[in-house]
Amino acid sequence: MLRRTRKPDHLQGTLDLLVLKTLSRGPHHGYGIATHIERVTGDVLRVEEGSLYPALHRMEHLGWIAAAWSLTANNRRARLYRITRAGEKRLAEDEAKWTRLTEAVGKLLRFA
């Protein structure tokens, strides 16, 4: 019986932010989200694929994103995620928080 801690840590929060931001540009499937994050960050941020899917399902239950099965260009079934109204609200909050955090860290680094 495995027991997982459910405390929201920084990493998890970051993953949520990355996913929501990605989806705010349009629907994506899981793989698409992962590659988009890697491509945009120039491979600096690599998504832990093992935690991506549990995170997607969790955010789905929280109502931030919605999912539906659809066909891709080469006629395969893929699960497409899109952001919801609640997700957008959440994204705005997280983005603001993140910006404040990085600015604060930046100030400290510049001061030293």
Partner 1 sequence: MGWFERLRGTIIGGRDELFDEEMRFHLDQRTEEYMRRGLSEADARREALRRFGSPTLVREQTRDEDSFRVVADAARDLRYGVRLLAKNPGFSAIAVVTLAVGIGANTAIFSLFNSVLRNRLPVRDPERLVLFTASTGEGTSVGTPPVGHWERFSTEIYRHLQSQTPSFESLAAVRSGPSTVSVRLAGEQSPAERAVAHPVSGNYFGTMGVGAAIGRTLAPDDDQPAATPVAVVSDGYWRQKLHADPQAIGRVAILNGSAFTIVGVAPPEFFGERVRRAPDFWVPMNFQPIIELRPSFVTENDAYWLNLVGRLRPGASRAEAERSATVALQRFLRDAAGADVAPDRAKEIQQSRIELFDGSGGVSGLRTQYREPLHILLAVVALVLMIACANVGNLLLTRASARQREISVRLALGAGRGRLIRQLLTESLLLAALGGAAGVLAARWVVAALLALVSRTAPVQASVSGPVLMFTLGVTVIAGLLFGLAPALYAGRLELVGGLKSRIGIGGRRRRGFGAAETLVVAQIATSLVLLVGASLLARSLINLQRQSYGFEPDRALLARYNPRLAGYKADTVPSLHRRLYERLAALPDVRSATLTTYTPFSGTKSSNSGHVRGYTPKPDENVEFEMVFVGPDFPETLGIALRAGRAIGPRDGAGAPRVAMVNETFVGRYLAHEQAIGHRFGFGEDKPELDVEIVGVLADAQFHDPKEPIGPMTFLPLLQEATQFALQAEAIVRTKGEPAASANELRRAINEVDGNLPVNDPRVLRDQVADSFGSSRLAARFVGFFGGIALLLASVGLYGVVSQSVARRTTEIGVRLALGARPASVLWMVFRDTIALVALGVVVGVPVSFASAQLLTSQLFGLGAVDVPSLGLSAALLVTVAAIAAIVPARRASQVDPMWALRAE
The residue (of 8 and 50) whose beta carbon lies closer to partner 1 is 50
- Of the candidate spans 11-19, 23-31, 85-93, 96-104, the one that interacts with partner 1 by CB under 8 A turns out to be 23-31
The residue (of 6 and 10) whose beta carbon lies closer to partner 1 is 6
Q: Give backbone dihedrals phi and psi of 77, rounded to 5 degrees, phi first.
A: -80, 130
- Distance linking the first and last C-alpha atoms of the chain: 48
- What's the helix, strand, coil split of the chain in %, to 5? 60, 15, 25
Regarding 53 and contact with partner 1 (CB under 8 A), the answer is yes
- Which of 18, 23, 28, 30 touches partner 1 (CB under 8 A)? 30
Regarding 110 and contact with partner 1 (CB under 8 A), the answer is no
Q: How far apart are CA 45 and CA 38, in angstroms?
A: 6
Q: How far apart are CA 89 and CA 105, in angstroms?
A: 25
Regarding 71 and contact with partner 1 (CB under 8 A), the answer is no
Contacts with partner 1 by CB under 8 A lie at: 1-4, 29-31, 34-35, 48-51, 53-54, 57-58, 60-61, 67, 76-79
